[in-house]
Amino acid sequence: MKQFPRFFHLPAARFSWSSLIASLMLLAACTSCSPQREESHTAPFGVFLGLETAKLWHEVEARYGRSVRTERPKELEVNAEAVVADDGTPVIRIRDSVAPTEVRIAHELLHLQMVSEGFAYSIEPRFSKGSVTPANLALFRQTAEVVHNGVLHSMFYPKLRSMGMNPSEEFSGQLANAFFVGTTSAGAMTETDLALNFFKASVEIDDAKVPERLAAHYLASGWQGPLDIGRAMAEPVTTSRPDSPQREVDVFLACMNRLFKESVAFSVLGQRTQRRGAIQVHTVTVSVGAKDSSRPD
């Protein structure tokens, strides 16, 4: 499940192994609902698509062999998301209270396109013995979603910008409100929240002045640690420029290991492939365990 980017500020949580003080939890449990479906047409969600977005729409339908289904659920954890139904139907959901825009639609179309090209549809954890708890699972899923989306967005945001769109406009505004306009929410963030926001700013925003200004704010606020971690996480994304499913996973692991470098080690255990209609979706399984302190970084 791929989600439209959002601002990250999560309450603290704790892993069960003693070496880790975790700092994220799931924002909210996904609420079951019966979304309102819309039929695909020339103006999905009532939005007129430009030529390039309309072409992308048709390319996705050709790859999946099915029409893209649109839904407007009243309750959705995120503003928008793209999923692949069990029968292989590509689905774009935009929460009923959120205004549909061409950039949202194009964004989710590119997520669907990448899934059809073999990029990971989901990344699932396998915890070391004794560390499987609801809090650990929630923490992994939320953190992995932020990092995985950051890696994917770094790959397809240039395409959206070449289409004349600004895919990071919403996050840029949220970042400015939290750190430069008002400081209440920023002051309540954990170190991991701060590191993840700097990571996102570095890999998703196409304006070097934004992370530079953010870095200055972090230093002035005494947030050297989160700044260093956020920079370290962004480095494998910005320098290696992943462009394949294998590199996608490699860079994801590098980012996760840098985020939790003091206490947790992540590695790939394997990949499960499931056919859904005309395509195959890939689920990557990642080992999550306490770090061996006797081994160097």
Residue 148 CB contacts under 8 Å (≥ 6 apart), including other chains: 120, 123, 252
The reply to whether 144 falls in a domain is yes
Structural domain total, the chain: 1
Name the residue with tokens 């590191």.
195
The reply to whether 58 falls in a domain is yes
The reply to whether 295 falls in a domain is no
pLDDT of 138 reads 86
CA distance 289 to 297: 15
The reply to whether 138 falls in a domain is yes
pLDDT of 183 reads 62
The reply to whether 210 falls in a domain is yes
pLDDT of 290 reads 81
The reply to whether 184 falls in a domain is yes
CA distance 216 to 90: 42
Collapsed DSSP state (helix, strand, coil) of residue 274: strand
Distance of CA 294 to the CA centre of its chain: 32
Per-residue pLDDT of the chain (297 residues; tens, 9 = 90+): 554 344 444 433 333 333 333 333 323 333 334 455 544 456 999 999 999 999 999 999 999 999 999 999 999 989 999 999 999 999 999 999 999 999 999 999 999 999 999 999 999 999 988 778 888 888 898 899 999 999 999 999 999 999 999 999 999 999 998 898 866 677 788 999 999 999 999 999 999 999 999 999 999 999 999 999 999 999 999 998 899 999 999 999 999 999 998 889 999 999 999 999 999 999 999 999 887 655 555
Q: Which two tokens stand for residue 283?
A: 């689920």
pLDDT of 181 reads 83
Q: What is the pTM of this model?
A: 0.84
The reply to whether 296 falls in a domain is no
Edge-to-edge strand ranges of the sheet holding 69-71: 2-3, 80-84, 90-94, 69-71, 37-38
Listed in order, strand segments (DSSP E) in the chain are: 2-3, 37-38, 69-71, 80-84, 90-94, 120-127, 264-276, 279-290
For residue 284, the cross-strand partners are 123, 271
Task: Count the residues in the chain.
Answer: 297
Range of 214's domain?
Answer: 2-290
pLDDT of 34 reads 43
48 and 68 Cβ atoms separated by less than 8 Å: no
Q: Which two tokens stand for residue 17?
A: 């192994």
Q: Over the Cα atoms of the chain, what is R_g?
A: 19
The reply to whether 297 falls in a domain is no
pLDDT of 135 reads 85
Collapsed DSSP state (helix, strand, coil) of residue 33: coil
pLDDT of 201 reads 97
pLDDT of 21 reads 30
